Amino acid sequence: MAEDHLGQRTQSLLARGQPFLKGGSRYEAVAAASQGQGFLPPRQLIVDRAEGDFIWDLEGQRFIDFQNGWATNPLGNCHPEILGAVQAAQKRYGFHWEHPLRIPLAERLANLSPGQALPRFSFEVSGTEAVEAAVHAALCHTDRRYIIAFASSFHGEGLGTKLISAYDAQNYVGLEAWSGGVIRAPFPHSEAIPPGLSLAQYQDYCLWYLEHHIPQYVMAADNIAAVLIEPALAEGGNWVPEPDFLKGIRAICDRQDWLMIADEVLTGVGRTGTLWAVEHADVIPDIMVVGKHLSGGIEPFAGFSARDDILGDNPRATSGSTFAGTPAGCAAALKTLEIIERDDVLTQARHLSGLAAAACADWSERFEIVSEVRGLGLLIGVSFQGSRANGVHVARSVRDEMLKRGVWALCDFQPQVRLYPALNMAPEVFLQGLSAMAEAIETVDRKGPTVGDYPARPSGNVGF
């Protein structure tokens, strides 16, 4: 069972890293907590090689890649044209801040921005920095002190974004002295509707809370700079709001004179089947944050777009860092956008999304453990029944069974398995992955979560 669960090479590399890596001892605790309840510890995987729709682990086993570098590879692994563009830029410029590629990229992003209304672009390195810079720009532009963010949102792991995100109350422990400018609002989760309400009523309540409760009881409207929202809450569990919710937020922002900031770090550049997820609701934000997909999974790259009056001349809104907008990052982004347009990748993504909708349509009826399947484009989440703690083990067991069948998906600390296939994944590979997932769910549904008689084993801190 041990070899089955974790191969020899993986085990020994994890054991080697355990004393040196941040959090190296944490896996022990997580594994012990699982084992204490009779479940298998979460399985870890180390990528040895990545190409197209697949990755191979250190034991040489091939997996269909639904993990996608945490939703970062829109065109699959190691796209040769993006690699080529990156290598050419590195060879020509090495690293200099003052390279020419920034300008055509900013111009292209302006043309592609929702409604072509966000012409200014600020280059950042990570999504975290980009969200923090966007919030700062909003505070400086409005000369106000507060922003509104939503329950179970995730915006990053920086000091500012930790305080803004709300996916786990544990995240603020130790940071109490730093908080202050964030107001949290409820989000209409489709699976956590208060008893007696329909989803539509719950959504109306959330909008009412935003527009009436907050200004009356929490903070004066004229001290609120912006509402920050992920158009689909990804890390929090792939929650997809109804388009009316985003429309409602836009309308409230207009009435209250608040800015709307869309965090499209994960949803942007095609993940939901449109270039930007806000397009599903036909909404134009005032500021939009981008990252992940934009550089094709090859280079760190992020930034934010904004209205001309917000970013054209906002001297206090300083941001950026040495490696913001590297030549390689800009080359990767230009090439990624070129391929997405040239190969009509968004149409491919929508086709795959339709296949997924058909393949998963009956899962919540067919399998007792599945409570909901939801998705927008290729942001797909499957939720599992049970108390929060138990649901996590059910989800992890499904992920384990998927790994046994050669499919790698994401399951973090929520009772969900999340899928982020490449936008151009071969349809037959995609369907094969979904069918293996259905088998995995069926196995856990029939046998119960994978429990085990587990041998003592080495540990590491590679993501699980």
Ligand X SMILES: Cc1ncc(COP(=O)(O)O)c(C=O)c1O
Q: Looking at beta carbons only, is 103 or 175 nearer to ligand X?
A: 175
State the nearest-atom distance from the C-beta of 146 to ligand X, in Å.
20
State the nearest-atom distance from the C-beta of 167 to ligand X, in Å.
10
State the nearest-atom distance from the C-beta of 5 to ligand X, in Å.
27
Q: Structure tokens of 292?
A: 């992940």
Residue nearest to ligand X (CB): 127
Q: Looking at beta carbons only, is 31 or 109 nearer to ligand X?
A: 109
Q: Looking at beta carbons only, is 363 or 464 nearer to ligand X?
A: 464
Burial bucket for residue 17 (CB in 10 Å: 0-12, 13-18, 19+):
middle
Residue 270 falls in which region: left (phi positive, over 0), alpha (psi -120 to 50) or beta: left
Q: Looking at beta carbons only, is 154 or 202 nearer to ligand X?
A: 154
x/- mask, ligand X, residues 270-299, rule CB under 6 A, reads ---------------------x--------
- Interface segment toward ligand X; rule CB under 6 A; list 121-129, 253-261, 316-324, 393-401: 121-129
- Interface segment toward ligand X; rule CB under 6 A; list 98-106, 243-251, 259-267, 410-418: 259-267
d(CA 277, CA 292): 14
State the nearest-atom distance from the C-beta of 380 to ligand X, in Å.
15
Q: How far from 458 is each of 105, 423, 462, CA to CA, in Å? A: 46, 36, 12
x/- mask, ligand X, residues 21-50, rule CB under 6 A, reads ------------------------------
Q: Looking at beta carbons only, is 65 or 235 nearer to ligand X?
A: 235
Of residues 156 through 175, those in contact with ligand X by CB under 6 A are 156
Q: Looking at beta carbons only, is 373 or 379 nearer to ligand X?
A: 379
Size of the site for ligand X (CB under 6 A): 15
Of residues 381 through 400, those in contact with ligand X by CB under 6 A are none
Question: Exactly one of 53, 65, 132, 263 binds ligand X (CB under 6 A); which one?
Answer: 263
Question: Exactly one of 154, 187, 304, 408 binds ligand X (CB under 6 A); which one?
Answer: 154
Q: Would you count residue 377 as binding ligand X (CB under 6 A)?
A: no
Q: In what order do the strands lie in the sheet with 379-384?
A: 370-376, 379-384, 416-419
Q: Would you count residue 79 as binding ligand X (CB under 6 A)?
A: no
- Written as one string, the DSSP assignment of 61-123 is -EEEESSHHHHT-TT-BT-HHHHHHHHHHHHHHSS-SS-TTHHHHHHHHHHHSGGG---EEEE
x/- mask, ligand X, residues 217-256, rule CB under 6 A, reads -------------x---xx---------------------
State the nearest-atom distance from the C-beta of 240 to ligand X, in Å.
13
d(CA 133, CA 156): 12
Q: How far from 378 is each of 91, 147, 186, 264, 358, CA to CA, in Å? A: 35, 29, 25, 14, 13
Tokens 């009772």, residue located: 415
Q: Looking at beta carbons only, is 267 or 424 nearer to ligand X?
A: 267
Q: Looking at beta carbons only, is 43 or 162 nearer to ligand X?
A: 162
Q: Is residue 280 a contact partner of residue 376, using CB atoms and an 8 Å limit?
A: yes
x/- mask, ligand X, residues 122-141, rule CB under 6 A, reads ----xxx--x----------
d(CA 116, CA 305): 10
Nearest alpha carbon to residue 374 among 165, 229, 233: 233
Q: What's phi and psi for 193, nearest 5 deg? A: -80, 130
Q: What's phi and psi for 314, nearest 5 deg? A: -130, 75
Q: Would you count residue 266 as binding ligand X (CB under 6 A)?
A: yes
- Interface segment toward ligand X; rule CB under 6 A; list 9-17, 58-66, 258-266, 370-378: 258-266
- Interface segment toward ligand X; rule CB under 6 A; list 201-209, 260-268, 357-365, 438-446: 260-268
- Interface segment toward ligand X; rule CB under 6 A; list 92-100, 151-159, 345-353, 366-374: 151-159
- Interface segment toward ligand X; rule CB under 6 A; list 76-84, 120-128, 206-214, 400-408: 120-128
Nearest alpha carbon to residue 377 among 271, 448, 462: 271
State the nearest-atom distance from the C-beta of 84 to ligand X, in Å.
24
d(CA 251, CA 209): 14
Q: What is the DSSP letter of 187?
A: -
Q: How far from 288 is each of 57, 399, 417, CA to CA, in Å? A: 36, 33, 27
Q: Would you count residue 265 as binding ligand X (CB under 6 A)?
A: yes
d(CA 243, CA 283): 9
> Helix (H, G, I), strand (E, B), or coil: what is residue 295?
helix
Q: Would you count residue 155 as binding ligand X (CB under 6 A)?
A: yes
State the nearest-atom distance from the C-beta of 233 to ligand X, in Å.
8
Q: How far from 138 is each of 34, 142, 286, 404, CA to CA, in Å? A: 43, 6, 9, 47
In the complex, the residues that contact ligand X under the rule CB under 6 A are 126-128, 131, 154-156, 230, 234-235, 263, 265-266, 291, 302
